[in-house]
Chain A
């Protein structure tokens, strides 16, 4: 296994140990301020993020361990996304403490809040392991680590009916998707006798007959993954769960769960799509799902009046754009679909977190997630209004923002591989995106506020917002650092 202390899996191990330490801290110091747990988590994860940039893939990959643990650029990139997303979620959770206290503690000060800061760390460990998983057993276990932690997080506000209902819906549909995914994996195992994706690819190439069984397995796995990434028609849980879950968790679901789904999809689809005989059937299924996702996500977002639900449909539509990249087989374009998806997810992380951070702060002072609550925000807090403006125009894909470049790469990829119909759908979708995203901007700048009290922002949140705004604009003009991490 080479040198024990320089191996990339230590990153995950450190995150797990951090989570366990936080849990112990929470249990043995019940009187301490729970935000202490959050700050330690934040520092620990920052350390992991720094360490991950210094971590190199081991040169000697002969040991069988490396056959189920990927150490390519993509894996490291997704690990960074996971850690960054978790850190931002914890910042958001600190801002969200008053709301949580109202629905969780009941009387005792900060009672039962500690776990809300520990669980994201475990989710992070699951996400990081998933980034490297290239074997069905590890994929399954890391996927479930993430999903089961999310069940708890979504239903965390146990005296809020909305949160509990969201939790039950996520639980039932999440478990259903697990059922489909596992059954699909079972059939793949039955057909090929393998659980390693690379060996499955080889076995599928040499498979004679049993086309329908392969298609059956592929469809089952696709259904399972479709639930995770919120693709139509497996998106039914998204709006309700996003609306009911605590806002930091919604942000985490939107970024973390989606990133997890797409890294798994990127790796799993590859051996199937390489199978020449059934390539066209697989692509047809993918294309239909993609088209439906883009159209539905964008059109259903138009009439929304609740900002969280709007972001839910926006999340579906972005899943559509990401799927579009996955259906492509590039001819000349220098980036692979996997790299384009990773780039898009990185930009999506920045702008979505920006929106949710503003939403969390505004929610605390207005007690509402409606778009109407943002009316005249620029009079109450010009900084927040500007931050949200950057967030929504980047989500819409206005040039000179990171969101534009993400869409630009996807569209170029689609042109390069000649997916003209899907491209037309995507253009229509992106155009309607302008309408519903800018609805929020209109409320902030052109409508009268219902109250004029200024909104206070904590220094930590202000710093996070500032960094996100800068990153969104800088990477929209100069994406080389991200691309450098991906291609190296």
Chain B
């Protein structure tokens, strides 16, 4: 039997890996993937909470509905985000954060 704590641990690790990736990586595409990882971490723990915190013997479906919305929103975010990154690549020929320096102040 896998316990709730195990799920939360994995989800916490995913979140931490995602956040570390956002802070440390220099390629915008990879940073973006790490951001999606953070959302997946939330999804995992939401489903786990929903499954273990039962209401009248049934899973708490509110959490699972939220998961659906997070998945849909993440897809929209990826579509828009990749479009912006592709447009930036065509204008600057780079996807590295160090090159994002046209504004200063």
Interface-facing stretch out of A33-41, A189-197, A447-455:
A189-197
A169-206, CB under 8 A of B: which get 1 and which 0?
Answer: 10110011011101101110110011100000000000
Residues of B within 8 A of A151 (CB): 77, 80-81, 84
When the two chains form the complex, which single residue of A148, A164, A305 contacts B88, counting CB atoms closer than 8 Å?
Answer: A164
Report yes or no: B42 in contact with A162, Cβ–Cβ below 8 A. no
Residues of B within 8 A of A136 (CB): 66
What count of chain A residues pass the 8 Å CB interface test?
A: 44
When the two chains form the complex, which single residue of B32, B66, B76 contacts A172, counting CB atoms closer than 8 Å?
Answer: B32
A290-327, CB under 8 A of B: which get 1 and which 0?
Answer: 00000000000000111001000000000000000000
B29-45, CB under 8 A of A: which get 1 and which 0?
Answer: 00110010011011001
B73 CB within 8 Å of chain A: yes
Q: How far is the CA of A358 from the CA of B15 in the complex (A)?
A: 44
Report yes or no: A137 in contact with B38, Cβ–Cβ below 8 A. no
Residues of B within 8 A of A176 (CB): 22, 35, 38
Report yes or no: B77 in contact with A137, Cβ–Cβ below 8 A. no
Chain A stretch 131-165: residues in CB contact (< 8 A) with chain B: 136-137, 140-141, 144, 148, 151-152, 155, 158-159, 161-162, 164-165
Residues of B within 8 A of A194 (CB): 62
A240 CB within 8 Å of chain B: yes
When the two chains form the complex, which single residue of B28, B42, B76 contacts A186, counting CB atoms closer than 8 Å?
Answer: B42
When the two chains form the complex, which single residue of B41, B55, B87 contacts A158, counting CB atoms closer than 8 Å?
Answer: B87
Report yes or no: B62 in contact with A155, Cβ–Cβ below 8 A. no
Report yes or no: A193 in contact with B41, Cβ–Cβ below 8 A. no
Residues of A within 8 A of B18 (CB): 179
Given the known inter-chain contacts A165-B102, A172-B31, A175-B77, please indicate yes or no for A159 contacting B69, CB distance below 8 A: no
Residues of B within 8 A of A429 (CB): none
When the two chains form the complex, which single residue of B63, B70, B81, B91 contacts A175, counting CB atoms closer than 8 Å?
Answer: B81
A461 CB within 8 Å of chain B: no
B92 CB within 8 Å of chain A: yes
B21 to chain A minimum Cβ distance, whole angstroms, is 11
Residues of A within 8 A of B105 (CB): 239, 243, 304-306, 309
Q: Which residue of A lies closest to B66 (CB)?
A: A137
A275 CB within 8 Å of chain B: no
Given the known inter-chain contacts A152-B80, A164-B91, please indicate yes or no for A190 contacting B49, CB distance below 8 A: yes
Q: Which residue of A lies closest to B49 (CB)?
A: A190
Q: How far is the CA of A164 from the CA of B100 in the complex (A)?
A: 10
**A-B residue pairs, 4 tightest by C-beta:** A179-B38, A190-B49, A175-B35, A182-B42
Ordered by A's residue number, 19 sampled pairs between the chains whose C-beta atoms are within 8 Å are: A140-B69, A144-B76, A148-B80, A151-B80, A164-B88, A165-B88, A165-B103, A175-B77, A179-B15, A179-B18, A179-B35, A182-B70, A183-B38, A183-B42, A189-B46, A189-B49, A193-B53, A243-B103, A306-B105
